[in-house]
Structure 1
Amino acid sequence: MLPPPAVRGVFRTDERARAAYAEGAGIYRILPAAVCLPSDRQDLVSLVGWAATHRVSLVPRGAGSAMGGGNVGEGVVVDLTSLPRILEIRPAERTAVTSGSVTLAELNAGADGHRLRLPPDPSSGRFATLGGMVSTNASGARTVRYGSVRRWVQAIELVTASGEVLQLRRGQGSTDRGSETIRRIEADVAPAVRAAHGLIAARFPRTRKNSSGYALLDWLGSGDLLDLVIGAEGTLGFITRITWRLDPQPACRAGLRIELHSLDHLVKVVAALLAGEPSAVELLDRTFLELVSHTDIGGGLSGVEAILLVEWERDDPRALRQAVAQAADTVRPWAAVVDTALTAESATRLWELRHAASPILAGLPEDRRSLQVIEDACVPIERMGDYIRIVRRVTSARDIAAVIFGHAGDGHVHVNLLPKVGRAGWEQSVAGVLEEVSDAVLRLGGTPSGEHGDGRLRAGLLQRTYGDEILGLFRRVKDAFDPLGILAPGVILPSGEPAITRLKVGRQAIPIPDDIARALREIERTGGYGRSRLELAGEA
């Protein structure tokens, strides 16, 4: 493949560069045809024009920390972290303007001096790019009070698959009235979606969080095209600039640690906690507690079915203490309140148990890997206990260890599978878990993705989740933004390829240079996704 003549940035087709971008944080290893690091927005527009002319697919990518596999593919991987960094805090307006290449940590560091912040707090926030967060409609522990990224986006600049640069603003639609993309949406997509309003309302999951499919229900509610782009995982265009709403930092923070000795009480306890408007309600299941049981902080938890870590944020210390005390009194009939933390420092210490698993999972031997396959389902809160029991039963029946935790306040359960990857047939066992658990999620009224997006991993579940008619509307949205289908093919809209294939682990993994494979594994172990992959590849 010859480099695009008009592109001034890095464009490499050598084996080492392609290998360095063959993996993200998910389960896949797919060698791209090339890697491009555009130097600025015009460079990106030139690349898109070349790709459209030559029918070459493009794979938008930020830090590479997304877990669904949307950041890898066979075309040209476009590393957007190379774009110029823009970070402008406007304290009087409580807004910020950033490029998509800025990280959440950088934005919050800039806002901190003004006692402002962007509340959504994914665990990848120290390295995840803001463009990537918009692309998956990211959230985190504090979504239970502050909502996902969608609530905080005011405007998006989008480079489309035809090279148009659209300015999409909350409450104002698009200012690009001459755009062919806008014309196609207004002429074809909008009437079809409005006509199907009843079906969409009936079929979309009734969960507190959903990052699966295109956000037709949100678009119908707002009329804002940016609601289609949020959560679209780069399949509708490249996000180059974002305007954010910011929130004042709370004055004080406190928390509770609650032990449950039966999952039968989980739903009642969570419902009681939510009435007190906490900022986070996190779940550590028995499987998680067993993993950390040999650590200093994880000992003495025998017989505990689950732990809830609960946080409140307030501006008034008296109101904060009252909220914590009332919650503790309310849940005592069903649970044991083990620890109350009434200062920000002690509240932070409560979360040490939550973080104890990361080094253990990172240090697993090579014959047992932590894989994110059913890691993102969200179910109605009243079905959360049922879902956890199903996951335990299905994984146990297939002899696959699992670690279960998540955002209980949203009914959002993360599951890390720990298969023995040296054992014959392990891939089929994992595929069976995915199939059986996914069916259970739908029976329970849930969504396969609460915050990570569909990517390649869950694209094949959309027909079951939404039905043929809504899947057809998703295709119309895609066709309006990307008529040639060159942006992230196989992401969100299914390609027909099985989900458990082209994995980064196991005997079938595509070979790449040993030193790069080791470096990618170290990135996975340490969460080093902010590191440039070209450093691994070296000079061309």
Structure 2
Amino acid sequence: MKSLAEHLPAGALVTDPDILAGYRQDRALDPDAGTPLALVRPTTTEQVSTVLRWAHRHRVPVVPRGAGTGLSGGATAQDRALLLSTERMREITVDPVTRTAVAQPGLLNAEVKRAVAKHGLWYPPDPSSFEICSIGGNAATNAGGLCCVKYGVTTDYVLGMEVVLADGTVVRLGGPRLKDSAGLSLTKLFVGSEGTLGIITEVTLRLLPAQTPQSTVVATFSTIETATAAILAITGRLRPSMLEFMDAVAINAVEDELRMGLDRTAAGMLVARSDAPGEHAAAEAAIMVEACEKSGATEVFSTEDPEEGEAFTAARRFAIPAVERRGTLLLEDVGVPLPRLGELVTGIAEIATRRAVLVSVIAHAGDGNTHPLIVHDPSDADETARAHQAFGEIMALAIALGGTITGEHGVGRLKKAWLPDQVGPEVMDLTRRIKDALDPHGILNPGAVL
């Protein structure tokens, strides 16, 4: 360790056990987190390269970490490994002419949004945790968010990046070009790779003009079936800028905290928005109102008032922390093709009943990405075991419906046992071959994904 410390600025290498304890787990709270050798907090690509050259030479594992908000255990510390946090890498440059931004990975998603907004621009990907999650972590997990139904996920906005490979080699991929077919699409390979192929030290982001004012539609339903019918009716006619779902548990958990007057008797609630330009937003809102009413909504509310609309969006964003106050969560991220969404939601309810655990379902309904929240008491061994059984059964259900075990949170360590069931042995073998080629000693984020 001394030889590494000599090549880093003072304070960049931390071995204090009390500080290390705060970095052992991400938000997934993986109980199998190990005791790291040290924590490294670099500020430049060159320092990251120095760390990886040293780790490669000494065969020391390195676990990359962003803001620690990951929900799949992708940043879980390993015994005798280095934790490499990018939290101090926080520079950004915005080019309004090319509508791009070059950002270091430690910036929070919200900070990137604010920086580009000063130039009349917008960075669309918006995880519910956008105020606390880092742009580097977003790239590493291919994060999504509420507006993905219309605008896509992180990979759709990453034009280029700088990456440090396992042996310390620095490579620059892509750049501020909207079209570029030169060579293999290596940038896409690293987005979503969860720190297993290299450490992202800079991203070049595609930006859009500022989003136009939105019209918001809120609808409640007495059954899950009518709610899912409305979702399909809406997406069959237009592409909203947001289409979110909350079940009865989430509605009541949010109402307990925010006292908004939400309908506690509803089985489900949709929050939909349109950002079509000019009067077209109101026209699209009218289409969504009609779709909800014809599908059997018990109540439909529409507003063009930005503050009212944002209040309902904030309620949806608050659903996870609200449900979390009822117990410890096992948080899933399964998605299915839209026509199978109803089967997924009803199947999750059946699993919850069979395993006798509380499961709340919230969803980015417009793209079929659900977040089942399994609530349990970790001091109750039997309930915890049943919660973990439900966790696995929900992923198996999603796979059986032609879906995925993760739409935006990543595989990490908590879901890797189910990855082969989704992608098959041939893809797993190909993945291992790519990993071995880029990281022959297996030092980058060992135990994640593979």
TM-score, shorter chain, exceeding 0.5: yes
Cα deviation, residue 293, structure 1: 5.1
The one-letter code sitting in structure 1 at the alignment partner of 2:61 is S
Q: How does 1:183-222 map to 2 (within 5 A)?
A: none
Match of 1:257 among 204, 208, 218: 218
Structure 2: distance between partners of 1:411 and 1:472: 28
1:323-338, aligned counterparts within 5 Å? 323-336=284-297, 337-338=299-300
Using the alignment, how far apart are the partners of 1:299 and 1:95 within structure 2? Answer: 40
Structure 1 contact 283–307 (Cα < 8 Å) conserved? yes
2:115 maps to which of 104, 107, 110: 110
> Does the 8 Å contact 1:174/1:225 carry over to 2?
no
CA distance in 2, matches of 1:362, 1:332: 32
When residues 363 and 333 of structure 1 are mapped into structure 2, their CA distance, relative to the original with a 3 A threshold, is: closer
Once residues 410 and 377 of structure 1 are traced to their aligned partners in structure 2, the CA distance between those partners, rounded to angstroms, is 11
Q: What's the CA shift for 1:77? A: 0.6
2:38 matched to 1:58? no
Q: CA RMSD in A?
A: 2.0
Q: Tell me the residue number matched to 1:311.
A: 273
Matched, 1:377 2:334: yes
Give yes or no for contact 1:256–1:311 (8 Å, CA) kept in 2: yes
**Identity rate, percent:** 29
Give the secondary structure class of the aligned counterpart of 1:240: strand
Q: Give the distance between the partners of 1:371 and 1:293, measured in 2 at CA.
A: 22
Partner in structure 2 of residue 322 of structure 1: 283
SS at match of 2:295: coil
Check whether the contact 2:359–2:372 (CA below 8 A) recurs between aligned residues. yes
For 1:41, the equivalent position in structure 2 comes to: 45
Matching residue's letter, 2:8:
V
Aligned partner of residue 82 in structure 1, secondary structure: coil
1:89 is paired with a residue whose SS is strand
Q: 2:264 maps to what in 1?
A: 301
Report how many residues are paired: 438
Q: Cα–Cα, structure 1 residues 419 and 323, in superposed 2: closer, same or farther, change >3 Å?
A: same
Residue of structure 1 in register with 2:238 after alignment:
276
Structure 2 residue 403 is matched with structure 1 residue 442: no
Q: Are the structure 2 counterparts of residues 430 and 300 from structure 1 closer, same or farther at C-alpha, using a change threshold of 3 Å?
A: closer
The answer to whether the 8 A contact 2:374-2:391 is kept is no
Query: Which residue in 2 is equivalent to 1:23?
Result: 25
Checking the alignment, whether the CA contact within 8 Å between 1:250 and 1:315 is kept in structure 2 is no
Which of 154, 160, 172 is the equivalent residue of 2:159?
154
1:452 aligns with 2:409: yes
Q: Report the residue type matching 2:158 in the other structure.
A: V
* Deviations 1:377-427 (CA, angstroms, capped at 9, x unpaired): 011111111111121221222222122101000111112211122223333
1:284, distance to aligned residue in structure 2 (A): 0.5
- Give the corresponding residue for 1:92: 97
Mapping of 1:146-185 within 5 angstroms?
146-169=151-174, 172=180
Match of 1:339? 301
How far is the alpha carbon of 1:298 from its aligned partner?
A: 4.7
1:485 aligns with 442
| Pairing of 1:385-424 with structure 2 (within 5 A) | 385-424=342-381
Does structure 2 retain, via aligned residues, the 8 Å contact 1:288–1:404? yes
Instruction: Say whether 1:122 aligns with 2:127.
Output: yes
Query: Is 1:475 aligned to residue 432 of structure 2?
Result: yes
1:67 corresponds, among 71, 93, 103, to 71
Report if aligned partners of 1:59, 1:77 keep a CA contact under 8 Å in 2. yes
Residues 172 and 224 in structure 1, CA contact (< 8 A), matched pair in contact too: no
Question: In the alignment, is the contact (CA less than 8 A) between 2:108 and 2:134 conserved in 1?
Answer: yes
Residue number among 58, 82, 85 corresponding to 1:79 in the alignment: 85
Q: How high is the TM-score relative to the length of structure 1?
A: 0.77
1:237 counterpart (171, 182, 198):
198
Equivalent-residue separation in structure 1 for 2:254 and 2:129 (angstroms): 21
Structure 1 ranges of 4+ moved more than 6 A = none
Kept after mapping to 2: 8 A contact 1:115/1:249 = yes
| One-letter amino acid of the structure 1 residue matched with residue 295 of structure 2 | W
Contact 2:127 2:146 in 1 (8 A): yes
How far apart in 2 are the matches of 1:305 and 1:3? Answer: 60
1:478–1:18 Cα change, 3 Å: same
In structure 2, how many angstroms separate the alpha carbons of the residues matched to 1:359 and 1:47? 36
Separation in structure 2 between the aligned mates of residue 38 and residue 352 of structure 1, nearest angstrom: 34
Q: CA deviation at 1:356?
A: 5.1
Q: CA deviation at 1:488?
A: 0.2
Aligned counterparts of 2:192 and 2:441: Cα–Cα separation in 1: 20
Report the CA distance shift for 1:482/1:356 in structure 2 as closer, same or farther (over 3 A): closer
Report if aligned partners of 1:38, 1:82 keep a CA contact under 8 Å in 2: yes
Alignment partners' CA distance in 1, 2:313 and 2:100: 29
Letter of the aligned partner of 1:461 in structure 2? W
Gaps in structure 2 of 5+ consecutive residues: none
Q: In structure 2, how many angstroms separate the alpha carbons of the residues matched to 1:414 and 1:115?
A: 32
Whether the 8 Å CA contact 2:140–2:195 is kept in 1: the answer is yes
Distance 1:45 1:293, change over 3 A: closer
How far 1:2 moved relative to its partner? 4.7
3-12 or 253-262, which deviates more: 3-12
The Cα of 1:483 is off from its aligned counterpart by: 1.1
Deviations 1:47-80 (A, max 9, x none): 1011111111000111011111111221111011
* Rounded Cα–Cα distance in structure 2 between residues aligned with 1:39 and 1:277: 41
CA distance in 1, matches of 2:224, 2:288: 19
